[in-house]
Amino acid sequence: MAFSEVHHVALTVSDMDQSLAFFCELLGFRKTLDMQLSGASFEKLFRLQPGASARSVILQQGKSQVGELELLIFQGPGMEKPSGPKRPGDPGLLMLSFEVQQESLQTVAQRLKARNVPFFCDPVDLDLPGYGPIKSLMVEDPDGALVELVELPPREGVHKVRAEKSGS
């Protein structure tokens, strides 16, 4: 089988306006689509009770139409008990990770800190085996979902580290 890179990731939110402010104003995404989802096919696809619906907002970085982020807010029957965000050790999607480009991670951290975004710690330096040195920052979105922001080495540097590790 042949698949493309990840097309999009969907994130359920509890307050669309707060989430749009976080991802668009603070992280620089742009809204490219805003739609209402409902009907029998939608209910069947997501195993929802009849009458459930959702608002879906698609966000993008750059010009690519892959790597999109979809924010969903569900309404209707069966949507009364949210489970909360995943934490380390929970099965399922743990975090979203985005590469910081065109500005430093420290600059992004200062902007987020000024807006009282919850941090675990200041940016940290990590030396990942088979990858090389990166800078990483873990924050939470308005619903407590983990969002990692990373400053990565140039791709050539990653290829070099991997070649050295494999002995090529």
Query: Residue 127: is its pLDDT beyond 90?
Result: no
Query: Residue 150: is its pLDDT beyond 80?
Result: yes
Q: What percent of the chain shows pLDDT beyond 70? A: 94
Across the chain, mean pLDDT equals 87
Query: Residue 168: is its pLDDT beyond 60?
Result: no
Mean predicted confidence (pLDDT) in 92-109: 90
Query: Residue 131: is its pLDDT beyond 90?
Result: no
Query: Residue 1: is its pLDDT beyond 80?
Result: no
Could you tell me the pLDDT band of residue 78, with boundaries at 50, 70 and 90?
A: confident
Query: Residue 107: is its pLDDT beyond 90?
Result: yes
* Interval 3-50: pLDDT, tens: 777 888 999 999 999 999 999 999 999 999 999 999 999 999 999 999
Q: Please tell me the predicted confidence (pLDDT) of residue 156.
A: 75
Contact 70, 59 (CB under 8 A): yes
Q: Please tell me the predicted confidence (pLDDT) of residue 136.
A: 94
Walk me through the domains of the chain, giving residue ranges and CATH numbers: 1-78 (3.10.180.10), 94-168 (3.10.180.10)
Mean predicted confidence (pLDDT) in 63-76: 86
Calpha distance 58→60 (Å, rounded): 7
Could you tell me the pLDDT band of residue 167, with boundaries at 50, 70 and 90?
A: low
Could you tell me the pLDDT band of residue 165, with boundaries at 50, 70 and 90?
A: low
Token pair in block for residue 139: 């924050």
Token pair in block for residue 137: 């920052």
